[in-house]
A and B are shown apart, each in its own frame.
Chain A
Amino acid sequence: MSARTTLRAFPTLLRVGFAEAVAYRAEMLIWVLSTTMPLVNMVLWMAVSREAPVGRFGEADFISYFLATFAVRQLATSWAAWLINWEVKQGTLAMRLLRPISPLWAYAVESIAAFPMRLMVGVPVMLLSVALVGQKAVPQHAWQWGFVVLSVIGGWAVAFLANVAIGALCFFLESSQKVLEVWLVLFFVCSGYMYPVELLPPTLRTIIDWLPFRYQIGVPVEMLTGAHGWEASLRLLAAQWAWVAVLGVVAAVAWKQGVRRFAAFGG
């Protein structure tokens, strides 16, 4: 589909996607419950830091960090790998491939259209964070808010493109669900979802800096809690968007090659 036609179709795609998100609001609430791990971690780390701060993190810092993690997780997420596996196996991808718009746009829009519903969970959590910790829980400067927006979009793009690349592997393997599980294990360890990455030893941090996981959750959370100055923020944002570009190429190549092998089984 040409860029002009895609742009023209975008508002309708978003509107219908939002209508679907509203229709599946119960499922979304259940999914939100499954992302409460940061709240559990918050309580644990608060207990650890009661006696003395851990690194630069005191009790209040852990509250703002993990509430921000919970809020970012509502947006910087994707289920495209699961969807692609399901649709390839069932043969229903055929219906998407018949349309003059890439299924990847359709998957992306379905995810983006759910943002308003997810913000309805994320924004109150951030307001709670301000209520508990005070103004320092969130950025103090306008430029920092601009970086928050860019880094959350970047975090979503990392999640989405990695999901597409993993999902497209199911064209080559019988299923890529197990690859997704390995990815998720690494995500939990390396992204800053379970603990702030800066608490890890320097060698591990260097390795993590070269992996994509931190750029999905850790970096947007650090931006949202105002952890970095201008230069460090810019550097992290550049690294995040470099990963978006790399994953974009990988996802596009895997998808293009994979679709050639699509067998469209099932009727």
Chain B
Amino acid sequence: MISVRGLRKHYKVHKRPPGLKAALRSLIHRSYTTVKAVDGISFDIRPGERVGFLGPNGAGKTTTLKVLSGLLYPSDGEVTVDGHVPQKREEAFLKKIMLVMGQKQQLLWDLPPAETFELNRAIYDVPQAQYKKTMSDLIELLEIGDLIGKPTRQLSLGERMKCELAAALIHQPRVLFLDEPTIGLDVAMQATMRTFIKEYNEKYGATLILTSHYMDDVAALCPRVIVIDKGLLSYDGGLDALVQRVRPEKRVVLRLSEEVDAGRLSPLGRVVTHEPGTAVLQVQQEAVNATITRALSTLPVMDLTVENAPLEEVMSELFAESKARRTAVSEPVSA
């Protein structure tokens, strides 16, 4: 469905230090620097896959999505989406895709969302019968029946985001690019959005690429992740495998009926957190069974769970690793 080969997107950016002197100098001589937003990445995505694009701020995730959706011309490389070259922005291509950006809106601000829906029906040339069916599904799934008649400006962020998603799906795109779709939403609304996105993917077999800083979004939606850092691809594979690679240790979460000394916990593993009534231990995977047995026999355990390290920690460790690697490469070797 999506094929990316050696994609590069470089920007020429005017750069000057602050101050009047620098401002005056820039009148005569402008210095430019090249920002390598994406610097030669390659990957393939199969039809119907759900893939998470991860990376720190400025990694090149959104730039990649914008190239894939035809908004940006690549500096180099080959990109095809369902057989189309995105930057040609052919009508058939634009009718197959949609990019939902959590920080940008397509809803008409002073009109009710129903007007944007109707506008999109006309623009995407959706037959009336299909439009009615899709709208009825979307209204039911997203619970927006009471919202679509109110002016957009009077909706809350969460309500607006649900309507944004509905507006984006009227033409039933086969490829859905989601850039921070749950940004700023409360926990309940994030869960609603995730459920809906997953259902859409399963119902229509749509290919889905998601960027999000909320790891819960990624964990809930994306069996596969692609990690980009400083424009370079640093991981492409299963989410579980990534966690295993970066942080193979497990977390044993203990709920205790009474307070225990730290000294009684430390022989079991590395104490991550210790509060009255709860303790979290980090142990090697192969030592999990032994640790559980010992904990049950030596501590007043009420409840116990075994978890992977939080995805946020895994990601920050991964980014720290790649930053260290980059630093090591760029530092001069002294004799």
Q: Is A24 at the interface (CB under 8 A from chain B)?
A: yes
- In Å, the complex CA distance between A11 and B122 comes to 9
Q: Are A20 and B110 within 8 A (Cβ)?
A: yes
Q: Nearest residue in B to A12 (C-beta to C-beta)?
A: B122
Q: Chain A residues near B119: list those with CB within 8 A.
A: 12-13, 16
Stretch at the interface among B64-72, B229-237, B286-294: B64-72
Which of A5, A23, A94, A260 touches B66 (beta carbons < 8 Å)? A94
A91 sits at the interface (CB 8 A):
yes
A95 engages B105 (CB within 8 Å): yes
B174 → A minimal CB distance (Å): 14
Distance from A55 Cβ to chain B, minimum over Cβ atoms (Å): 47
A4's nearest neighbour on chain B, judged by CB, is B125
A99 to B89, CA, bound (A): 9
- What interface size band does chain B fall in? 35 or more
B179 within 8 A of A: yes
A13-B119, A23-B110, A95-B106 are known contacts. Are A100 and B71 too (CB-CB below 8 A)? Answer: no
A16 B123 Cβ-Cβ under 8 A: no
Q: A12-B122, A100-B124 are in contact. Are A5 and B91 (CB under 8 A)?
A: yes
Of all chain A residues, the one with the shortest Cβ separation from B65 is A264
**A24: chain B residues within 8 A (beta carbon):** 110
A97 at the binding interface (Cβ < 8 Å): yes
CB-based contact A16/B115 at 8 Å: yes
What is the CA–CA distance of A91 and B63 in the complex, to the nearest angstrom?
13
| Interface 1/0 per residue, A1-39 and B, CB below 8 Å | 110010011011100100110011000000000000000
Once the chains are docked, how many angstroms separate the CA of A11 from the CA of B118?
Answer: 11
| Chain A proximity of B68: nearest CB distance (Å) | 12
Are B94 and A100 within 8 A (Cβ)? yes
**Which residues 163-214 in A have Cβ within 8 Å of B in the complex?**
none
Given known pairs A5-B91, A99-B94, A100-B91, the reply for A264 and B72 (CB within 8 Å) is: yes
Number of interface residues of A (CB under 8 A): 28
Asked whether B95 is an interface residue with its Cβ less than 8 Å from the other chain, the reply is: yes
Q: Are the CB atoms of B122 and A94 closer together than 8 Å?
A: no
**Residues in A whose Cβ lies below 8 Å from that of B99:** 94, 98
Whether A99 lies near B104 (C-beta < 8 A) is no
**Chain B positions within 8 Å of A20 at CB level:** 108, 110-111
A266 at the interface (CB under 8 A from B): yes
Q: Does A262 contact B (CB under 8 A)?
A: yes
Within 8 A of A (CB), among B98-119: 98-99, 101-106, 108, 110-111, 115, 118-119
Residue contacts A-B, CB under 8 angstroms, 22 given:
A1-B91, A8-B125, A9-B123, A9-B125, A11-B122, A12-B119, A12-B121, A16-B118, A16-B119, A19-B111, A20-B108, A23-B111, A94-B71, A95-B101, A97-B70, A98-B71, A98-B98, A101-B123, A263-B72, A264-B66, A266-B103, A267-B180
Residues of B within 8 A of A (CB): 11, 62, 66, 69-73, 89, 91, 94-95, 97-99, 101-106, 108, 110-111, 115, 118-125, 151, 179-180
